[in-house]
Amino acid sequence: MAETPETSHVVGGVDTHKDLHVAAVVDHYDRVLGTESFPTTRHGYRLMLIWMRSFGDLQRVGIECSGSYGAGLLRYLQTAGVEVLEVVTAPDKNERRRRGKNDDFDAESAAHAAFTERRTVTPRSRDGMVESLRVLRVCRKTAVQARRIALQMIQTTIICAPDRLREPLRKMTRMQLIRTLAAWRPDLTAFRQVEEAYRISLKSLARRYLELHDEIADLDDMIEAIVKDLAPELLEQIAIGLNSAAQLLLTAGDNPERLKSEASFAALCGVSPVPASSGKTVRHRLNRGGDRAANSAIHIIAIGRLRLDPRTQAYVAKRIAAGNSKLEAIRSLKRYIAREVFGIIMRRYKEINQTQIAA
């Protein structure tokens, strides 16, 4: 399609799904030029990009769910040098009530949002070590949950077990119990008998627990290696453990430069102050938005420093003496921790970039 003044600059929007993405394009007056569906394959991504560029100079693309269904498209467009924005909220409710809902409307809403750059954020890139860290942590989380369920099943099964099995197991520690059960040699051919069925079940659960325990240990080693590669200085700070450091790196992402300042990182972590004043009372409260996992990590760090760090203890005591409550003092402390963490992450990010450029 030949370029004209009306279509020289265009903006795209994509409503993402598992098997099919619906794309829309708007011109520089925010008028819809067309909608089209494409398969969620590399070839489909290429066809989508060609189709969008056929309307003119593609400025940027707004994508819904860039962290799930749209992850593949996000990587493809970033590799192609296209600016991508993530549409973070649903279409306007009044408009949806008036027009109804279908995939074309959702794609158009994403394009309109990308055009105005409202209800959008710069998405985290998913092509670096932080993405590897995220995948490993998700795997570890599910393994920990499965291990806990296995332990709960063992304890529940023992409560209901015949007395001859239950009595010797009552006073054992957790790992003594697990290893004892895993070493049992029940008669697998006698599964119709109640006692042997309990033996078979408890052995199976204990072996499952041990396998998951070893799997979690292996994943912890991998996660620790990545965290040390990305930001070893984080682990050297007081009360910042492996899990907290990993979560904060995930929140910053592989492209922390998208965060314009340490204040934006604090807001992303939900530790930025929010005015809560009324009349003569002037105060702030914690932000209840943002990444709650990052907020939890910073809270754990703050509580750890309250116990271990004399400077933190003195700071909180000073704030309380000035008339703040303990919760308000901790709110301020969490804000300072976010500033400290962001500085470490950005310094390390710049060092890695300089090393890559030099290489």
Instruction: Show me where the domains of the chain are located.
Output: 9-121, 129-230, 233-344
Q: How many CB atoms lie within 10 A of CB 293?
A: 14
Of the pLDDT bands very low, low, confident and very high (cuts 50, 70, 90), residue 88 is confident
CA 75, 76, 82, 85 dihedral sign is negative
Two structure tokens written together for 303: 């509580």
Q: Strands 83-87 and 57-64: what pairing?
A: parallel
Asked if residues 130 and 251 have their Cβ atoms less than 8 Å apart, the reply is no
Q: Which class for 111: exposed (0-12), middle (13-18), buried (19 or more C-beta within 10 A)?
A: buried
Cα separation, 60 vs 45, whole angstroms: 15
pTM attached to this predicted model:
0.84
Q: Which class for 220: exposed (0-12), middle (13-18), buried (19 or more C-beta within 10 A)?
A: middle
Q: Strands 57-64 and 9-15: what pairing?
A: parallel
Cα separation, 85 vs 74, whole angstroms: 9
What pLDDT is recorded for position 151? 97
CATH number belonging to domain 9-121: 3.30.420.40
What pLDDT is recorded for position 223? 97
Cα separation, 52 vs 34, whole angstroms: 9
pLDDT digits (tens, 9 = 90+) for 202-215: 999 999 999 999 99
Q: Does position 170 have pLDDT exceeding 60, yes or no?
A: yes
Pick from 224, 24, 250, 234: nearest CA to 125: 250
The listed range with the strongest mean pLDDT (30-39, 116-125, 325-334) is 30-39
* Beta-bridge partner residues of 12: 25, 61
Q: Tell me which of 158-167, 217-226, 274-283 is least confident.
A: 274-283
Pick from 198, 155, 156: nearest CA to 178: 155
Residue with tokens 């990993």: 246
pLDDT digits (tens, 9 = 90+) for 33-49: 999 999 999 999 999 99
